Amino acid sequence: MPRVMAFSLLYLADKVKKNGSECEEWHWGSCVPNSRDCGLGYREGTCKEETKRVKCKIPCNWKKEFGADCKYKFENWTGCNVQTGFKTRSGTLKKALYNAQCQDTILVTKPCSPKIKSKSKVRKGKGKE
């Protein structure tokens, strides 16, 4: 048996042992938290007649509009819109985990901060006599 083919068979046999399946086209559902809307949970996957459950975790600061399985690269926040009281930023899809259905681009908003940040700092103690 050629060396490359022997390696491929060993690799495949090892892969089947690790995940216990020969199936290659798994379809995964979204992560379902054990309690409330974030934290530890599970996701179910199906392939032909097989079904599996794997552990997953939904961060408690996840954005519910687009889910925890859609990862985006975001631009910087815009300035505060005085009329609406919100600032916005857009995100471009970077990765869809577990074949999640994700939007290519999204727009998110958040309320403007009520605090006005001062850019100049007054130094105390040094240089004064």
Q: From 106, 109, 103, 102, select the one nearest 91 (Cα to Cα).
A: 106
Do 70 and 106 fall into the same domain? yes
Give residue-wise pLDDT tens across range 100-126.
888 999 998 899 987 665 555 556 665
Residue 51 lies in a domain: yes
Do 39 and 72 fall into the same domain? no
Do 35 and 70 fall into the same domain? no
Average pLDDT over residues 68-78: 89
Do 49 and 34 fall into the same domain? yes
- Residue 98 pLDDT level (bands cut at 50, 70, 90): confident
Contact 67, 30 (CB under 8 A): yes
User: 66 or 45, which is more confident?
Assistant: 45
Q: Which domain holds residue 51?
A: 24-59
- Res 40 pLDDT > 80: yes
Q: How many folded domains does the chain comprise?
A: 2
Strand blocks (E) in 1-129: 27-28, 32-33, 39-47, 50-58, 70-74, 86-96, 105-111
Do 83 and 73 fall into the same domain? yes
Q: pTM (2 decimals)? A: 0.52
Residue 122 lies in a domain: no
